[in-house]
A and B are shown apart, each in its own frame.
Chain A
Amino acid sequence: MSLDLSPLTYLLALAFGGTLLTFFAGSRARWIALATAVGTLGISIWLLANFQLGLATDYQFVQVTHWLTLSTGGSAGLAVNYTVGIDGISLPFLLLSAILTLVTVIYHWDERKNPAGFFGLVGLTNAGLLGVFVALDVLLFFAFWEIVLIPMFFLIGHWGGTRRHYASLKFFVYTHVASVVTLVSLFAMVFLGNWGSMDFGGSISTADVAALNVQSIPQITQVLMFGALFFGFGVKLPMVPFHTWLPDAHVEAPTGGSVLLAGMLLKMGAYGLIRIAFPLLPYGHVAAEPVVLGIAFLSIVWGAFLSLAQRDLKRMVAFSSINHMGIVLLAIALWTQLSVTAAVLLMFAHGLVSGLLFLLSGSVHHTFGTRDIPSIGGITSRTPILSTMLIIGSLASLGLPSLVSFPAEFSAFLATWEALGWWILLPLFALVITAGFYLWMLQRLSFGPAHGIPEKARDLPFNEMLAMGLLVSLIVLYGILPYLIVQLIPHSAIFATQCFHGGSTVCATQP
């Protein structure tokens, strides 16, 4: 066992260790949670600073440590390694996870219902998420994937709203069944592809990646395996028609739970598609492309219309996530360098923006006692800061230029135009609806004559303002200077989209 520990190992150790301490810290839990969140964000920023752009076609900060060997009868057996590493696709997610966790901790600073449990579970979610995004081994990936489920189940089930038991159970059943399907398909890939270890990166250099290739597997099996993975990851995304867990989970989840759920857990599904399903099963995704595109279009349009119909602010934001993740799925399905870059950027943007919007719906709820859009109005006069934040969040979500969603959606639509031509009208049409429901909501909630505002309603307390301010400043920063994030992605995107396709010839010529 080598003692060459990757900084990623320190990151995971900090996240898990801090979480453990938080659980046992009692009334001091929030300080430890804050320290852990700041620490993980610090390491993530350090990683960003030390990430070498020229090498972005391969994984960096790699650590391969032998974990266990599975006996496979006859041969040397199958190695399972603790393999971690990041590339330009996973790094934005690490940053996002750390940011959103910090924001959640700040927002819930005054949590009074069993704070040690709450902050511990938030920390555990973060730790599991970081693990998912750095894992380069199938088993490790799956283990972290499962770890994320548990704290979210408890966050919804204990700190949630009235129907929290139903919602947490539904969330758990949907995602757990999806995990089971995913696991079987991952196993099948490892065996039928005759992998020497369960690593899908890290211990294998770029040129050897063809060794992982499952081209030797019969095409029908490839399609089946792709279908299983697509289902497993797609439920998490979520895609229509497997999206029904999402609004329930979101509406019942505590605010911080929603932020992590929308900001990070949905991204896990898309990340799985980008990292595993699409590159490793090239034939499968080519064959399934019409279905994937169809589901993407359906999710975009259906999500937009569903949002339009909602009265509950939080439910509306939740359904708009389906719409946005539909665009992400569309971008992934096109599977070009540009579109994958756009997908990652979109998810980064959506993480920040939906995080902000969920914080806002939480604040609206406890400030006004309801989230029902028609029953309150004209909040700007009483709570100007809250209203301002709401306007910024909505404008960011509908893709106003100079805010972070704009470059992301623009590049996604550019990629769509390149690949599909006039089909672009469909998502553009949905975009109009998205703009429509956000503006309509603002018109009713922020402007117009004040009504339905309780006497004791006050503007945002400091910690909530700080949490939202943090997100708003990042939304503006990355909206004006998108290249800060974008520059990371394209090299890794071309690696993902092309190296696995016809073997190593393309990769050999890459810079």
Chain B
Amino acid sequence: MSYTIPTISPYTPEISLLVAVVLIFLLDVAGVKSRILLGGATSLFLLLAFLEVLADLGTWPLQGLSTLPSGYLGTLQGPVIFTSFGLIFQGIFLAVALIVGFASISDPDEEGAPTFYALLTLAAIGMLFVAVSADLILLLLSIEITGIATYALVGYTRRDRRALEAAMKFYIIGALSTAISFFGASLLYGAYGTTQLSAFSTLPANHELALMGFGMVAAGLAFKATLVPFHMWAVDVYDGAGPNVAGFLSGGSKKMGLFALFVVFVAAVRVFGAAEGYVLFLALGSLAVITMTLGNVLALEQKTMKRMLAYSSIAQAGYMLLGVAIDTPAALAGATLQITADVLMKTGAFVVVGAAASLGIGPLITDYKGLGHSRPGISASFAIMLLSLAGMPLTLGFVGKFYLFFAAVEAPGYFILLAIAGLLNSAISVFYYARILRLMYMPDDSKAPASDGHSLTHSTLGSATGPATPRWASLRSEITAVGTARWITIVSVAVLLVLFGIYPTTLVGAMNSAAQQFWTIGF
């Protein structure tokens, strides 16, 4: 197969990130260790790349800046294809990197800073390529670029032994999953005679071989996406890594795994589903239900915030898997929306954990007791993220979950059971999120009961014993304590969650058409 040499302009986001990586390395050599400078430069480049992707998607008012040649979108360019679906995911990946990169400007200065930003940017480049791959090998290789960068990212703080342990664990599991994926890819090559993703929308002659190949690729990708039973590593790694890095893994590298699952399987599931009957859908559906249930049930009994978030992240992966388990345009759009929501709320939540650590708050959930009164800004933002995770109305999390469950009801057949399972699960999840809210805002809950909220006499009225009024002064001290960049990140993530929760119209519109197109073409 001969590939034509592609024009370079569509790759502006990738190139600008490469420039950033080179720049960071040069700055490192020049002896610049300042996080403000390094992080600022990285964030700027990530922002530029993000805006460029928005422009490519035709977002008002940036549409004039698009660098895609006309007719480029949706046509195969060798191993690469630019689709709106892929571009949306590029945007999602860049948003995660931007959140993490900008927030970690507030991390304490230490020797690893240039490494951290270079690795973060490299990981983002890998993700960008995942989003435009039209060939299984390019897809897996791009995943590996991100993989290697993230293994190092987890262990970049050389002083923290737990982070090193996590990095080692992550590396071994990652290498294993890559090996399995590539072995699966070789089987698929045997079955199809090509590794082009577009080929997977046909039924090959030897379809047992193809099924086995798909199974192995799925297993490899399921590690990345933290689907049960390949989820065991995730909790330890998220727990051991720094909070920002954990946010990047949960928001970025996991979503990359899910996107890869979509790309490889959306067409294949349809074709094989027609050939094999409902067995395949049953398997995928139960995988999704098991993942969400296990994640939620285990999250219920966690004592530390990071492990709780890690399990809730596994549960979220279960919801998102519905996108390919139901395999309709609506389900894909719903999953994309839910992924967008999760990127904001879960990455944001991990950033909050980092902020809490910088305030001297311990790792336990009970350590967050009373935070609502002492640190009003980040607590309110965290509360919004938790409510969004629980799927409460007025947040983006509600719209995403609602759309997914809607898709399950809308799809023909027995998918309505998935909606019921999902709804019950989301009812379970409310409890562990609500527990944190109660701890943060109602810390005195274990004290003696107040009868009817009144005391027996009215004589002592007026001596307000409530918490001190939050004032601008305390907010300013909060910003100083948390770090300006981190504080801005947390608050803007929360604001975005509410804004998109109230006005999801354009976001959903873009995802609908992208998912429809993606579902029709198959990659």
Which residues does A use to contact B, with CB under 8 Å? 24-28, 66-73, 77, 108, 110-118, 139, 143-144, 146-147, 150, 153-154, 157-162, 164-165, 172-173, 176-177, 180, 183-184, 187-188, 191, 254-256, 362, 365-366, 369, 454, 456, 458, 461
Q: Which of B43-51, B348-356, B455-463, B479-487 contacts A (4 or more CB under 8 A)?
A: B455-463
- Nearest-neighbor residue (CB-CB) of A185 within chain B: B409
Name the CB-closest residue of B to A164: B449
**A147-B393 contact in complex given A26-B470, A161-B451, A254-B453, C-beta closer than 8 Å:** yes
Instruction: Say whether B451 contacts A365, CB under 8 Å.
Output: yes
Q: How far is the CA of A454 from the CA of B466 in the complex (A)?
A: 29
Say yes or no: B420 contacts A180, CB within 8 Å: yes
CB neighbours of B403 from chain A (8 A): 70
A68→B456 contact, CB < 8 A: no
Q: Which residues of B contact A160 (CB under 8 A)?
A: 449
CB–CB A184/B416 < 8 A: yes
B451 adjacent to A115 (CB under 8 Å): no
Determine the chain B residues whose CB is within 8 A of the CB of A187 once the complex forms: 405-406, 409-410, 419
Find out whether the CB atom of A66 lies under 8 angstroms from the CB atom of B453.
Answer: no
B399: chain A residues at CB < 8 Å are 68
15 contacting pairs across A/B (C-beta < 8 A): A27-B464, A71-B330, A108-B453, A110-B461, A111-B453, A113-B453, A113-B466, A158-B445, A183-B423, A184-B419, A184-B423, A187-B405, A255-B454, A362-B454, A366-B455
Contact of B449 among A111, A139, A161, A365 (CB under 8 A): A161
Contact B467 A114 (CB under 8 A): yes
> For residue B463, which residues in chain A have a CB less than 8 angstroms away from its CB?
112
Residue pair A191, B509 in contact (C-beta under 8 Å):
no
Q: Let me know if A69 and B453 touch, CB within 8 A.
A: no
Given contacts A69-B512, A158-B442, A365-B451, contact A24 B393 (CB under 8 A): no
Partner of A70, one of B406, B419, B462: B406
With A24-B376, A110-B454, A187-B405 already in contact, 10 other A-B pairs whose C-beta atoms are closer than 8 Å:
A69-B508, A70-B512, A110-B458, A113-B453, A114-B441, A150-B392, A161-B452, A164-B449, A187-B406, A188-B409
Number of A-B residue pairs, CB cutoff 8 Å, is 150
How many chain B residues sit at the interface, stated as a range, is: 35 or more
Give complex CA distance A139, B509 in Å. Answer: 17
Min CB–CB distance B445 → chain A (angstroms): 7
B461-480: contact bitstring with A at CB < 8 Å (1 yes, 0 no)?
Answer: 11111111110000000000
Q: Which 5 A-B pairs have the closest CB atoms?
A: A26-B469, A143-B393, A187-B409, A68-B508, A254-B453
- B456 touches which one: A150, A176, A366 (CB < 8 A)? A366
Nearest Cβ distance between residue B377 and chain A, in whole angstroms? 10
Tell me the complex Cα distance, A68–B434, Å: 28
Q: Is there a chain A Cβ closer than 8 Å to B328's Cβ?
A: yes
Q: Are B329 and A71 in contact (CB under 8 A)?
A: yes
A112 to B423, CA, bound (A): 37
Secondary structure of the A contact surface, majority rule = helix
Cα(A139)–Cα(B501), bound, Å: 13
Which of B407, B442, B449, B456 is within 8 Å of A154, CB to CB? B442
Residue on A nearest B469 in the bound complex, by CB:
A26
Let me know if B453 and A159 touch, CB within 8 A.
yes
Interface flags for B482-518 (1: CB within 8 Å of A; 0: not) read 0000000000000000000000110011001001100
CB closest residue in chain B, given A25: B469
Distance (Å) between the CB of B60 and the closest chain A CB? Answer: 14
When distances are taken between beta carbons in the complex, the residues of chain A under 8 Å from B464 are: 27, 112, 115
CB-based nearest A residue for B328: A73
Q: How far is the CA of A72 from the CA of B408 in the complex (A)?
A: 11
Interface residue? B438 (CB, 8 A): yes
Residues of the A chain whose Cβ atoms lie less than 8 Å from the Cβ of B455: 112, 366
Q: Chain B contacts of A173 at CB under 8 A?
A: 427
Within the complex, the shortest CB–CB distance from B102 to chain A, in Å, comes to 26
Docked pose: A158 CA to B394 CA in angstroms? 23
B272 CB-CB contact with A under 8 Å: no
Knowing A71-B330, A154-B438, A180-B423 are in contact, say whether A162-B449 is a contact too (CB < 8 A): yes
When distances are taken between beta carbons in the complex, the residues of chain A under 8 Å from B328 are 73
The contact of A67 among B504, B512, B516, by CB within 8 Å, is: B504
| A366 CB contact (under 8 Å) in B376, B416, B434, B451 | B451
Report yes or no: B454 in contact with A366, Cβ–Cβ below 8 A: yes
Taking the nearest CB of chain A, how far is it from the CB of B435, in angstroms?
A: 11
Which residue in chain A gives the minimum CB-CB distance to B453? Answer: A254
Q: Is the CB of B465 within 8 A of A147?
A: no
Contacts of A117 in B (CB 8 A): 441-442
Complex contacts, A73 vs chain B, CB 8 Å: 328-330, 410, 516
Nearest chain-B residue to A146 (Cβ)? Answer: B393
- Name the one of A71, A112, A150, A177 contacting B333, with C-beta atoms under 8 angstroms: A71
Complex interface: chain B residues within 8 A of A159 (CB):
450, 453
- Known A-B contacts A116-B466, A143-B398, A456-B457; A68 and B509 likewise in contact (beta carbons under 8 Å): yes
A176 and B427 within 8 A (CB)? yes
* B405 neighbours in A (Cβ, 8 Å): 183, 187
Provide the residues of chain A in CB contact with B454, threshold 8 Å: 110-111, 255, 362, 365-366
Expressed in whole angstroms, the Cα–Cα distance for A164 and B449 within the complex equals 9
For residue A288, give the distance in angstroms from its CB to the closest CB of chain B: 21
Chain B residues with Cβ under 8 A from A177's Cβ? 427
Specify the chain B residue showing the minimal Cβ separation from A1.
Answer: B505
By a CB distance below 8 angstroms, the chain B residues around A153 are 434
A362 to B455 CA separation, bound complex (whole angstroms): 11
* Residues in chain A near residue B420, CB distance under 8 A: 180, 184
In the complex formed, the residue of B with least CB distance to A111 is B453
CA distance A369 to B452 in the complex (A): 11
B452 touches A254 (CB 8 A): yes
Residue B319 at the A interface, CB < 8 A? Answer: no
Q: Is B424 an interface residue (CB 8 A)?
A: yes
Q: Given A115-B466, A254-B453 in contact, is the A77-B427 Cβ separation under 8 Å? A: no
B196 CB to closest chain A CB (Å) equals 26
Most buried by B among A24, A70, A362, A454: A70
- Are A147 and B427 closer than 8 Å at their CB atoms? no
* Residues in chain A near residue B423, CB distance under 8 A: 180, 183-184
Q: Does B402 contact A (CB under 8 A)?
A: yes
Residues of chain B contacted by A165 (CB below 8 angstroms): 445
Which chain B positions have C-beta within 8 A of A111? Answer: 453-454
